[in-house]
């Protein structure tokens, strides 16, 4: 391997270890069963601060539960990933709203 290839591999390894990555159609947590991921996602939804719009996350969570009861692991994992992404988006939107300057009318 060249020095550049080693550097790229190192950076990708750091990104994966820190949880930074691109969501794909397969689960980022392929080793985990969907039923193991849902309780922590439910807890994150339930403990979200007031002001967060968690409606999209709740919809994806419910779809993941439905897929789990239908024994569709792949769909369940996709919906779990979508739930996690929706929670991150809700957090980002709340942070962005807090950063906006107050406007006097």
Could you report the average pLDDT of every consecutive run of 10 residues in the chain (105 residues)?
Answer: 57 56 44 86 91 91 95 95 93 77 56
Q: What tokens appear for 47 in the block?
A: 């403990």
Q: What tokens appear for 100 in the block?
A: 């906006």
Residue 10 lies in a domain: no
Residue 13 lies in a domain: no
Question: pTM of the full predicted structure?
Answer: 0.62
CB atoms within 10 A of CB 31: 6
Collapse the DSSP code of 42 into the 3-class scheme (helix H, G, I; strand E, B; otherwise coil) and give the result: helix
Residue 17 lies in a domain: no
Residue 34 lies in a domain: yes
Strands annotated E in the chain = none
- Residue-wise over 32-49: b if at least 16 C-beta within 10 A, else e? eebeebbeebbebbeebe
Measured in degrees and rounded to the nearest 5, phi and psi for residue 28 equal -70, -20
Q: How many domains does the chain have?
A: 1
Residue 12 lies in a domain: no
Distance CA(77)–CA(30), nearest Å, equals 8
> How confident is the model at residue 8, as a pLDDT?
57
Residue 31 lies in a domain: yes
Range of the domain at 88: 25-99
């Amino acid at each position: 391997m060249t020095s550049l290839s080693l550097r790229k591999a190192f950076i990708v390894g750091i990104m994966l270890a820190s949880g930074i990555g691109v969501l794909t159609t397969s689960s980022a947590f392929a080793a985990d069963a969907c039923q193991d991921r849902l309780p922590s996602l439910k807890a994150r939804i339930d403990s979200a601060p007031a002001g967060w719009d968690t409606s999209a996350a709740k919809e994806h969570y419910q779809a993941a539960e439905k897929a789990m009861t239908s024994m569709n692991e792949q769909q369940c994992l996709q919906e779990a990933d979508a739930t996690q992404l929706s929670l991150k988006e809700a957090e980002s939107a709340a942070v962005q709203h807090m950063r906006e300057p107050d406007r006097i009318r």
